[in-house]
Amino acid sequence: MSQTLFAQALLDPDAPVPAGITDPYGAPAPKRFSVYRNNVASSLTRALEAAFPTVRKLVGDEFFGAMAVVFLRAHPPTSRMMMLYGDALPGWLESFSPVAHLGYLPDVARLDQAMRESYHAADSATLPETAFQRLLGSDIAALSLSFAPSLRLVRSRWPVHAIWAANHEAGPKPQAVAQDVVILRPAFDPRPQLLPPGGGAVLEALLAGQSLGDSVETAGEGLDLAALLGLLISGQAVTGVLE
């Protein structure tokens, strides 16, 4: 028996049962082989359901299950860690025509994926409040920040935070606006927080290692920097203030 043929037949429902596989009496055993096919599809579908709860709520259980099977046949896992499976789903959704009318779905999947990454990210030590005193000084433009490994930034031209809140916390009906979201994990539970206008661009620059001064220049007018820093510090996302 070749494991290559066995593996291919698991992911291709139209492939014949590989030669050399029978029931205990030597008879053909398609239904027995299909137990393995079903196990593969159902266990990977469960992994995707756990990873993309908001996408699943938006499209419904039945559609999600059917969609998951199409995805997993095209993109079986490459890692044995199921906590990583599905990182290709957001990009795949961009070209999955049955959801073409749900333009926001790929970004919602990115938010789900970022929440999961945050959940499993490394822990980081909490800085004492005194560590932030330099941020109260007059010359903070040259300072830069380091961040907790659990911080994730999701920038979207869709109202992804409102969509998340409407599906998980009975938030109001989302309005058609662009939203940037930062995921903070003060202890163990990641939380998506809506960033103020300009906050996404500034945070992106800060994450790239730019100074506070350069980062704010990137974002243009109107950003409340104190509010952004307050949000990040209270979410225990800032792990260092660097010269």
Binding span for another protein by CB under 8 A among 38-46, 172-180, 202-210, 227-235: 38-46
Q: Can you say how many angstroms the Cα of residue 219 is from the centroid of all Cα atoms in its chain? A: 24
Q: Which of 14, 79, 169, 175 binds another protein (CB under 8 A)?
A: 79
Are β-strands 191-194 and 238-242 bridged in parallel, bridged antiparallel, or unpaired? unpaired
CB 94, CB 158: distance < 8 Å:
no
Task: Name the minimum Å distance from CB 187 to another protein.
Answer: 8
Say whether residue 10 binds another protein (CB under 8 A). Answer: yes
Rounded to 10 degrees, the C-alpha dihedral 72/76/81/84 comes to: -60
Say whether residue 70 binds another protein (CB under 8 A). Answer: no
Q: Which of 63, 92, 96, 119 binds another protein (CB under 8 A)?
A: 119
Q: Which of 65, 149, 186, 213 binds another protein (CB under 8 A)?
A: 149
**Degrees to nearest 5, angle at CA 174 with 168 and 179:** 95
Cα 144 to Cα 209: distance, rounded to the nearest angstrom: 7
* Contacts (Cβ under 8 Å, ≥6 apart) of 44: 68, 72, 76, 77, 85
Helix axes 212-219, 199-207, angle to 10 degrees: 140
Q: Which of 76, 91, 98, 240 binds another protein (CB under 8 A)?
A: 76
Q: Which of 3, 95, 130, 138 binds another protein (CB under 8 A)?
A: 3
Select 76 or 220, whichever has its Cβ closest to another protein. 76
Q: Which of 13, 15, 47, 60 binds another protein (CB under 8 A)?
A: 47
Contacts with another protein, residue ranges (CB under 8 A): 1-4, 6-7, 10-11, 20-33, 35-36, 39-40, 43-44, 47, 76-83, 119-123, 149-150, 185, 188-189
